Structure 1
C-alpha cells in the first residue's frame, strides 16, 4: 500500500476512532484466533496446534515445563539444568546417544536444530522434525513423551554428564558473568531469583546425589505444568490425536508440591552498585526502576496498555538517539524500555554505553531526559511518528503472515503459556491495532512514562566497567549525582521540531533505459543491462512476503590502498553512514523514514566493494531503497560533529575490547597466522584510530563509490518485474559510471607455513581456549568446496561425539572451513574449543587422534549419511529463502560460475563418498602445517564489586 494511501486510511481511522473505541469493551477478553487450536487434557497438560507451511515439510515441536532453577531445593542448585541435559542421554525408548544419533540420521542437527534451555521459571525442549514420513512424526512424539515422563536418570548417565555441564559453566566464565552474578542480588533486591542461577553451584553439580535429580524430575515434570506446542506442516487433527495418544496417560503426583513464584521486594531507597573489572569490554550505566508484578489478563484493555507502552518505548528511544548526535554527546548509545523478568515481573530499565566522559555526564543526561518528559511530555509530532513505526511493524507481520516461520509462532505460543497475554492471530491483531492507535493520545504516553519512571521511585543505579582509562565512580558519587539531578530546579522544554520533507529526493527527470533484457526461466531470473552499463539481475519470489533484498559486489576493496590507509578504508562505510544522507543528519532520516522499511549500506571490504540493502514490498518502501542507493553514489555528507562522534565511539569500543582476554586472544591468533604483515587486520590502537582523517576517509569512499562501473545489482524478493523496472531505470540507470578500478590487488598476505604454536596468558577465570587453524594454498573449485564442507561437518560430529560425549572435555565447539579463489586459491579450516587449563594436552591429543583417523580411514558411512541428510533438509529450506538466492547469485558473479548449479547441487551431495572425505582430510588436515594458539588464565584476579550498604 503506498504511503499516501496508507496515510489516508490512517486519517480515516482516526476520524472514526471515538465510536470504535467507545464500542470496545476493555474488560472483555481478546478471543484466541482461529489459526491455533488450544486445548487441555484431563490431566492439565495444555497444547497449541497450528498448521503452517513455512518451511515446508517440517514441524516445530516444543515441550514447555513451568519449572526451572527457582524451584530447586538447596541440594539441587544446578540440577534443573542437568535434568534437561540428561533428557538427551537415556529414556524409556532411547538409550544414551540413540536419540541424538537417530535425529541426526533424519537430518536434525544437534545444537543448531535439536536443543533445549533451562531458565529460572521454565525449561523448554525444541525439536524440529521433517514431516516426510509418518515414522518421523510418530517417533518425534515418542521423544516428547519420554522427555515429559520417561527420562531414566541412571547413575552412570548422571556421572557421565557432570563434566559436560561443568564445561558449559566454564564457557560462560568471563567478566560479564562475574558482573551479572554480583549485580543480581541488588537488581532483584534479595529475591530467591538471585540465589538460583540456572547454571547452579559447581559443587552441587559435581557431587549431587542422583536421587536429588530424580526428586526434581518427579516433583516438577508433571502434566499440569506442561504445554506442547506443535506448529508446522502437519494436519492439526493428526497432531491432536498424537498428543492425546502419547500424553493422556500422564498423571500428576498424589501430593503435589505447590508451584509458587518468587517475589521481588520493593526497593525503599535509591541504591547504587559499582563493578570494576579490567576485563569488561565496555563501560555501562543502568538505572533499574521498581519491579512490578502484573498479570496479563489478555483483555482488550491490556492489549491497549501494551500498545501504549510500545509507543512510549519508541518515543523515548528516539529522544535518546538524538542525544548521541549532538556535539560531545554524553554517551555512545542509550536505550530504555520495559523488561519482562521472571514470572509476571516487569521492570523498566534506562541504560547507556559510556564514552570517554564516563558515568557522570551519562547519568545527568539520562535524568535530564526523564525530567524533560515529566515536565513537558511528548509532542503530537513525535507521537505521530511513533504511531507510524508501530503500525509498520504490525503491517509487516500481517503481510508476511503466510510466509512466517513456524519457529516464530512456536515462540509466541510458549510465551502465552508461560506469562499469558493474547494470541488473536495477526489478522485480528492488525485490525485491532488500526482501531486502537488513533485513540491513543499524548496524555496516554505521558502516563506510561510516569508509570515507568515515577519521580519518587526508588531505583538502583549500576555502573559496570573497567578502570584502565579512568577510576570507576563510587557508590556515594552515583547516589549524590542522582539525588542532585532529582532535586534540581532546572526547566527542560521540548526541543524545537524541525519541519522536514516526506521524501529523500525527487525521481530523476531523465531516467536510464533498459537496453537489453533476457530471461532465465529455469532459475526464474530476469537479466537487465541499463543504458549506463550497470547490470541488474531480478528474481521475484514469494518466499518471504513484504521483503526485498538488494546486493551488489565488485572486485576492488581496501587492499587497493596503501597499508597506512587500510584502517580508514575499513571504517569508511560506517563513517559515511554515521553522517547521514544528502542534507539530512541520521536523526532527520529517522523522522523522514518513520513508518517506512528501507535501508542501504555500502562499505569497502578487503578485496571487494559491497552494497547491501533491503526494503518492504510497498512501492514507497522500494523507491526509498533505490533513492538511498542513488544518494550513496552522489557523494557522502560531510559533518565534522557526527564524524568526531563516530571516531570517539570507535576509539572507546576498540580500546576496551582490545584489552579484554578475548580481544587479546584474537589478536594473538592473527599475529601467529600472519606474523605482523602490514595488511593483517588486528584490533587498532587508539593512536592508529586518531590518525584517520575525515577528508582522507571521504576521498577513499568517493574513490570507490563515485562510480557504479562494473557493478551488477541482484534484487530478490516480493516484487513484480513490470512494477520494479521503472525504479531500476530511474535510479540504477542514472548512477555515474566514471572509470574506476574493478580488480583486486594481491598484497602478499599469506598465513604462516609449518607448525606454529603460541600461548597467551590472559583473563582471571579457570578457562582455556585452544585455537587450531589449518591453512594454505589449494586448487579452488565448487566441487572441492563441497568436499571440504563435508569434511568440516564430519569433524563437527566427532567434536560432539568424542570430545564432548565420550571424554567430557568440552561443552561445545565446531570447525569452520572455507575455500577461497582470491587473492590466490587457498583454504582455511579452524576451530576454537574451550576447556579447563588442566585439560589442554588431553584435548589436543584427542583432537589430533580424530584427525589421524579421518586421514587414515575417512568418515564412517553413517557419519556421511547424517551429513547428507542434514544438507537435504537444509537445502530444501534454504531454497525458499531470499538471502540464500542473493548470496549465491552474487557469489556466482564474482567466481564466474554457473548459478544453475544451485538446482543440481543435491546430485553432487549424493555422490560424495567416504573416500572423498578421506582424501580431503589428507589434503587439508596437514599435521606439518598448522597454527595453534592457546589461551590460558593469568594467575591472580583483581575484581571489585560494591553496593549500597
Structure 2
C-alpha cells in the first residue's frame, strides 16, 4: 500500500524532528525534565487504537513545568510546523538509512523476515521489500514538500480525545498536580501564544583546517587474521581486515593500555561519570546538538571511552563516509569541546535520576552485593545523588586529555568493507596527525580484590509484592585460556538447562534462574560465576538447596551427554554465524591484542574435543576453591 508507506514515513520524520527539538531542550542549562519524546503510533493502553503520544520523565520539583514544556513543543509544531532545514536533515537521514538497508539486502537475517511477517499478520503492515521501498522512497521523498509534512502534523493534534496518565512513587514530600490542575494546564498551553521554532544551522565543515597528516612507515600482512598492518610515523598501529560480510559497514576500535586505573582513588566521583560528562560537550566548534545536525545524511559515529584498564574509541561508518569517521576520530583526540551549560544540564538530570533510583528496592540489593564482593573498595561504590555536586568538569577534561594526548601506543582495528587503497591515504592524513609523546605505560593494579572464603548476608526490605531474591557468587583462580573460556560458557549453559528443568518446571518456584560466568586475564587470572533467582520467601530455602545439590551432582557425576551435546551443537552453530560478522573479528583481534590469547584459532577443534569429564573437572576446579558469597533480600508478607 503506497499511501500507507508515505504516511508512515511522514509520521516517522515528524517524530524525529520533534524529538530533536526536545533533545535540544534537554541540553539547556536548566531543563525542566530528565527526558522527553513524542511519536505517533499504537495507543499505550489499547493496541487496537492509534494515538499521538508524548512521554516525559519529570524532575520532582518541576512536574507541571515538565508536562507544560512537552505540550508546548507539540503545539508549536502543530501550529507552525517544521523548518526547511529541519526537514532537509531528517529527509537525508531517512534516505540514508534506506540506502544502507538496500546495500545490505543480500545480507538480511531470517529474523528480519520473520519480524516483517509477524507485523503483517498482527497489524496488517505491508511487506513491500527493501528493493521496492528503496525505489519508491527515492522517487517520492525528494518531491514531497514540507507543506505536506506540516499539514500532517497539524492533523495529528486535536483538543479532543486527550488522555494524560501520571505515574510516580509514593514518596514523602513529593506532591503531584491534581486533576483540576492538569486540566487547567492542558487548556493554558492550548491557548498560549507561541512563536515559531528557530533552527540554528551552520554550513561550517567539521574541520575548518585539515591536518597536514603523517605517513605510513611500513605495511605488512598478518596471516593470523588475514589482515594488513600499518605502522604510522607517530607510533600508531593500524590493523585492517577487509571483509564482504556487509556492503555498507566498517567497524572501528582504537585502544591503548592505561585507563582509569592510572587515576588516584580520590578522583572516584569524576571517574564514575567521565564518559558521560565528556559526551555532553560536542567536538571542535560544534555543540552536541549542532554536531548531530552537521552529520545529517552521513553514516559515521565515534564514541570515546576510558575504562578501568584501557582507553579508546568505538566507531563505525559506511565506506563512503570513511573520511568523516577519520575526522571525528581526529577531533575526539584533539578538540573535545567544553560546554558548561550542557554540563549543568547533565548534572541536574543525573541527580534527578539517581534520586529516583534510590526509591527502588533493588538498589539495596546492588549495594549489598557490591559490599559483599569488594568489601567497600572505593572503585566498586555506586554513584549517589549527593555526590553529583562534587563533579569537577575541568578535572574531567584534564583526565580525558591525559589519556588521549599520546596516540603512539594506540592500536586501531578496522573490520568491514574497507578498500585498502582507498582508506590508507585517509588513515595517514588523520590518524598520522594524532598527537604523540611516546609514553611507555600500562594499567595499574588497584587491588580491587574479591572476598575470599564463605560470606552470607540475608536482610529484609519491604516491597509491594512478597519476594525473595537470592544471589550466589563464586570466585577464585582459573587460567585464562581458550579452552577454559569455552568450558565456562558450556558450564553456564548446562546449569541454565538444569535449573530450568529442576527449579522452574519441576518446582514451579521461579520464572527462571540466571547463571553467568566470566574469566579475567588482568591483573590476575581469575574467574567469577554468579547464580540468581527470585522466588516466594517460603520457597527460598528449598530452592537454594536444589541449586547447591545440582552443583554437587555436577561435580560428582559430570553433565549428561544429552545436555553437553545440545550445548556444543548450539555453540558450533553460533560460531559459524559469528564468522560472518564484522563485530566478531573486531572482538577476537582486540582480545588477542589485550590478553595475547587467540580466541579464534582452534575454536571448533577445542570445542569438539571437550568431554563430559572435562566439564566435571572444570566444575570441581571452580566450585571447590571454597570462595562463595550469598546475598539474599527478603520482602515478607505485609502485616494486615
Question: 3-state DSSP class of the match of 1:935?
Answer: strand
> Which one of the candidate residues 440, 446, 459 is aligned to 2:162?
459
Please give the alpha-carbon distance, in whole angstroms, between the structure 1 residues aligned to 2:285 and 2:571.
Answer: 48
Please give the alpha-carbon distance, in whole angstroms, between the structure 2 residues aligned to 1:359 and 1:791.
Answer: 49
> Which one of the candidate residues 518, 530, 533 is aligned to 1:830?
530
**1:933 corresponds to which residue?**
631
CA offsets 1:78-126 (integer angstroms, 9 cap, x no match): xxxxxxxxxxxxxxxxxxxxxxxxxxxxxxxxxxxxxxxxxxxxxxxxx
> Which one of the candidate residues 693, 696, 702 is aligned to 2:395?
696
**1:471 corresponds to which residue?**
175
Residue 448 of structure 1 pairs with residue 152 of structure 2? yes
Please give the alpha-carbon distance, in whole angstroms, between the structure 1 residues aligned to 2:366 and 2:404.
Answer: 31
Residues 804 and 940 from structure 1, CA distance in 2 versus in 1: closer, same or farther, beyond 3 angstroms? closer
Stretch of structure 1 that moved more, 923-932 or 411-420 = 923-932
Residue 500 of structure 1 pairs with residue 199 of structure 2? no
Q: TM-score when scaled to structure 1?
A: 0.65
Please give the alpha-carbon distance, in whole angstroms, between the structure 1 residues aligned to 2:14 and 2:201.
Answer: 22
CA offsets 1:802-831 (integer angstroms, 9 cap, x no match): 112222222223311111111222110012
> Which one of the candidate residues 51, 55, 68 is aligned to 1:347?
51
Residue 869 of structure 1 pairs with residue 569 of structure 2? yes
Please give the alpha-carbon distance, in whole angstroms, between the structure 2 residues aligned to 1:844 and 1:371.
Answer: 56
CA offsets 1:191-240 (integer angstroms, 9 cap, x no match): xxxxxxxxxxxxxxxxxxxxxxxxxxxxxxxxxxxxxxxxxxxxxxxxxx
Residues 329 and 805 from structure 1, CA distance in 2 versus in 1: closer, same or farther, beyond 3 angstroms? same
Residue 331 of structure 1 pairs with residue 28 of structure 2? no
Please give the alpha-carbon distance, in whole angstroms, between the structure 1 residues aligned to 2:310 and 2:558.
Answer: 36
> Which one of the candidate residues 487, 496, 507 is aligned to 1:807?
507
Residue 606 of structure 1 pairs with residue 305 of structure 2? no
CA offsets 1:235-258 (integer angstroms, 9 cap, x no match): xxxxxxxxxxxxxxxxxxxxxxxx
**1:375 corresponds to which residue?**
79
Please give the alpha-carbon distance, in whole angstroms, between the structure 2 residues aligned to 1:362 and 1:462.
Answer: 14
Deviation for aligned residue 1:704: 0.9
> Which one of the candidate residues 411, 428, 439 is aligned to 1:729?
428
Kindly report which structure 2 residues correspond to 1:306-455, keeping only aligned pairs within 5 A, or say none: 306-341=8-43, 344-454=48-158
Residues 940 and 478 from structure 1, CA distance in 2 versus in 1: closer, same or farther, beyond 3 angstroms? farther
**2:580 corresponds to which residue?**
880
In our comparison, the structure showing a higher alpha carbon Rg is: 1
Please give the alpha-carbon distance, in whole angstroms, between the structure 2 residues aligned to 1:750 and 1:719.
Answer: 42
> Which one of the candidate residues 224, 241, 247 is aligned to 1:539?
241
Tell me if the contact between 2:238 and 2:411 (Cα under 8 Å) persists in the aligned partners. yes
Stretch of structure 1 that moved more, 871-880 or 634-643 = 634-643
Residues 506 and 726 from structure 1, CA distance in 2 versus in 1: closer, same or farther, beyond 3 angstroms? farther
Residue 552 of structure 1 pairs with residue 291 of structure 2? no
Residue 856 of structure 1 pairs with residue 556 of structure 2? yes
**1:646 corresponds to which residue?**
346
Tell me if the contact between 2:235 and 2:438 (Cα under 8 Å) persists in the aligned partners. no
Question: 3-state DSSP class of the match of 2:127?
Answer: coil
Question: 3-state DSSP class of the match of 1:460?
Answer: coil
Question: 3-state DSSP class of the match of 1:757?
Answer: strand
Deviation for aligned residue 1:928: 3.0
Deviation for aligned residue 1:522: 5.4
Residues 482 and 741 from structure 1, CA distance in 2 versus in 1: closer, same or farther, beyond 3 angstroms? farther
Residues 411 and 364 from structure 1, CA distance in 2 versus in 1: closer, same or farther, beyond 3 angstroms? same
Please give the alpha-carbon distance, in whole angstroms, between the structure 1 residues aligned to 2:464 and 2:48.
Answer: 36
Please give the alpha-carbon distance, in whole angstroms, between the structure 2 residues aligned to 1:693 and 1:509.
Answer: 31
Please give the alpha-carbon distance, in whole angstroms, between the structure 2 residues aligned to 1:532 and 1:690.
Answer: 39
Residue 919 of structure 1 pairs with residue 621 of structure 2? no
Runs of 4+ in 1 over 4 A off after TM superposition: 341-344, 938-942
Please give the alpha-carbon distance, in whole angstroms, between the structure 2 residues aligned to 1:444 and 1:367.
Answer: 22
> Which one of the candidate residues 715, 719, 738 is aligned to 2:414?
715
Q: TM-score when scaled to structure 2?
A: 0.95
CA offsets 1:471-492 (integer angstroms, 9 cap, x no match): 233323222222222233x232
Tell me if the contact between 2:272 and 2:383 (Cα under 8 Å) persists in the aligned partners. no
Structure 1 gap ranges (5+): 1-297, 943-949
Please give the alpha-carbon distance, in whole angstroms, between the structure 2 residues aligned to 1:836 and 1:405.
Answer: 40
**2:329 corresponds to which residue?**
629
Tell me if the contact between 1:359 and 1:463 (Cα under 8 Å) persists in the aligned partners. no
RMSD between aligned residues: 1.9
Question: 3-state DSSP class of the match of 1:772?
Answer: strand
CA offsets 1:624-678 (integer angstroms, 9 cap, x no match): 1111111011042111101111122222222222331122211211111111112
Tell me if the contact between 2:473 and 2:529 (Cα under 8 Å) persists in the aligned partners. yes
CA offsets 1:497-556 (integer angstroms, 9 cap, x no match): 334126311573522211111113453211111111100111111212211111122221
Please give the alpha-carbon distance, in whole angstroms, between the structure 1 residues aligned to 2:633 and 2:22.
Answer: 39
Residue 759 of structure 1 pairs with residue 462 of structure 2? no
> Which one of the candidate residues 669, 686, 701 is aligned to 2:385?
686
> Which one of the candidate residues 527, 540, 543 is aligned to 1:840?
540
Residues 903 and 690 from structure 1, CA distance in 2 versus in 1: closer, same or farther, beyond 3 angstroms? same
Please give the alpha-carbon distance, in whole angstroms, between the structure 2 residues aligned to 1:647 and 1:433.
Answer: 42
Deviation for aligned residue 1:777: 2.8
**2:477 corresponds to which residue?**
777
Tell me if the contact between 1:557 and 1:605 (Cα under 8 Å) persists in the aligned partners. yes
Kindly report which structure 2 residues correspond to 1:298-313, keeping only aligned pairs within 5 A, or say none: 298=1, 300-313=2-15
Residue 902 of structure 1 pairs with residue 607 of structure 2? no
Question: 3-state DSSP class of the match of 1:829?
Answer: strand
Stretch of structure 1 that moved more, 871-880 or 537-546 = 537-546
CA offsets 1:109-165 (integer angstroms, 9 cap, x no match): xxxxxxxxxxxxxxxxxxxxxxxxxxxxxxxxxxxxxxxxxxxxxxxxxxxxxxxxx
Tell me if the contact between 1:663 and 1:683 (Cα under 8 Å) persists in the aligned partners. no
Deviation for aligned residue 1:469: 6.4
Question: 3-state DSSP class of the match of 1:902?
Answer: coil
Residues 918 and 397 from structure 1, CA distance in 2 versus in 1: closer, same or farther, beyond 3 angstroms? same
Please give the alpha-carbon distance, in whole angstroms, between the structure 2 residues aligned to 1:702 and 1:370.
Answer: 40
> Which one of the candidate residues 426, 447, 458 is aligned to 1:748?
447
Residues 596 and 742 from structure 1, CA distance in 2 versus in 1: closer, same or farther, beyond 3 angstroms? same
Residues 941 and 869 from structure 1, CA distance in 2 versus in 1: closer, same or farther, beyond 3 angstroms? farther
Aligned length: 636
Please give the alpha-carbon distance, in whole angstroms, between the structure 2 residues aligned to 1:696 and 1:522.
Answer: 42
**2:225 corresponds to which residue?**
523
Please give the alpha-carbon distance, in whole angstroms, between the structure 1 residues aligned to 2:487 and 2:79.
Answer: 66
> Which one of the candidate residues 333, 356, 370 is aligned to 1:656?
356
Residues 741 and 346 from structure 1, CA distance in 2 versus in 1: closer, same or farther, beyond 3 angstroms? farther
Tell me if the contact between 1:570 and 1:604 (Cα under 8 Å) persists in the aligned partners. no
Tell me if the contact between 1:363 and 1:482 (Cα under 8 Å) persists in the aligned partners. no
Structure 2 gap ranges (5+): none
Please give the alpha-carbon distance, in whole angstroms, between the structure 2 residues aligned to 1:575 and 1:588.
Answer: 17
Residues 789 and 307 from structure 1, CA distance in 2 versus in 1: closer, same or farther, beyond 3 angstroms? closer
